[in-house]
Amino acid sequence: MDSAQFQQFTATLQHTLNADDRVRALVGIGSLAQPERVDRWSDHDFWVITTAEGQAHFLNDLSWLPDQATIALALRPATEYYTVLYTTGHIAEFAVFALTDLARGQLDHYRMLFDKNDIHMQLQAVYARTQDKQQNTDSTRTIGHFLVSLCTGAARDARGERLSAHTYIFQYALDDLLTLIAQHIPAQQPDRADRFDPRRRFEQGYPDLSALLEPILALAPTAAALRLLDLAEQLFHDRMPAFPVSAIAATRAFLQMIERG
């Protein structure tokens, strides 16, 4: 979807919903919250805020969506949420909240596309609560999960279960490492960070660390696990209170034993 098509989709969505009295606000998130990031690969991410009576209509009848005739697939991962795939490959991800349901949501960057009920302060409270929750994530637990995932992945690799090994090392362990980086190391470009998915725009937010990670991702699972462990120790030994020195040592010994065969 080129820039003109993206803008037309947005304008149609905004016009259709603004004209309906059951819709109280339209909130852009993702690329819609930061228009300077929009490119040909951007999705449409948004919240529709409705009256209590109108919510069911917008959840059960998607004819209000732009280009409705070209919808190829509509998934409903949760009661208020949809992921819609168009025949062009374009994706719209959205939630439909009644005013009384806003507390269920989580927000990072957002932008009001229209607001009939002056709900900005409610959304700001959701945003603040989301930030507090993420900042208070237990780093000790996260690095513990990281170490367990490395050991489990290496054991699966030794058993010949390469697909499972990849999942534990390059997904679970790596996600924990990226979460810890986001918590403890300021991004070189802070506006590029994604609080819900630490993999998103990591290359732009942390170009130096991205350059360190890239060659690790090309290694075999157990070799990669050892390198990820070394990187974690380098990054967090002096940054994290109660850094688990003995657990790091035990994990390294186990990984080295498997690497030696």
Domain region containing 256: 139-260
pLDDT digits (tens, 9 = 90+) for 106-159: 887 889 999 998 888 888 888 888 776 655 568 889 999 999 999 999 999 999
d(CA 192, CA 205): 5
Verify that 128 and 144 share a domain, yes or no: no
Verify that 162 and 39 share a domain, yes or no: no
Q: Residue 115: count other Cβ atoms within 10 Å of its Cβ.
A: 14
Verify that 109 and 216 share a domain, yes or no: no
Residue 101's pLDDT is 85
With a pLDDT cut of 90, the percent of the chain lying above it is 67
* Contact partners, residue 116, CB within 8 Å, separation at least 6: 23, 24, 25
Verify that 110 and 194 share a domain, yes or no: no
Verify that 204 and 241 share a domain, yes or no: yes
Helix axes 174-184, 221-236, angle to 10 degrees: 10
Q: Of 135, 159, 193, which residue is a domain's last?
A: 135
With a pLDDT cut of 70, the percent of the chain lying above it is 95
Residue 135's pLDDT is 59
Nearest to 223 by CA among 151, 144, 154: 154
DSSP 81-144: EEEEEETTS-EEEEEEEEGGGGGG---SSEEEEEESS--HHHHHHHHHHHHHHHHT--HHHHHH
The enclosing domain of 17 has a CATH number of: 3.30.460.10
Overall domain count for the chain: 2
Q: What value does the mean pLDDT take over residues 246-256?
A: 96
Verify that 121 and 218 share a domain, yes or no: no
Q: Per the confidence metrics, is the pTM higher than 0.85? A: no
Residue 221's pLDDT is 96
Kindly tell me if the per-residue pLDDT of 169 is higher than 90.
yes
Verify that 107 and 226 share a domain, yes or no: no
Residue 121's pLDDT is 83
Q: Of 113, 135, 157, which residue is a domain's last?
A: 135
Q: Of 135, 166, 197, which residue is a domain's last?
A: 135
Verify that 162 and 50 share a domain, yes or no: no
Verify that 81 and 176 share a domain, yes or no: no
Verify that 112 and 163 share a domain, yes or no: no
Verify that 125 and 183 share a domain, yes or no: no
Mean pLDDT of the chain: 91
Verify that 125 and 212 share a domain, yes or no: no
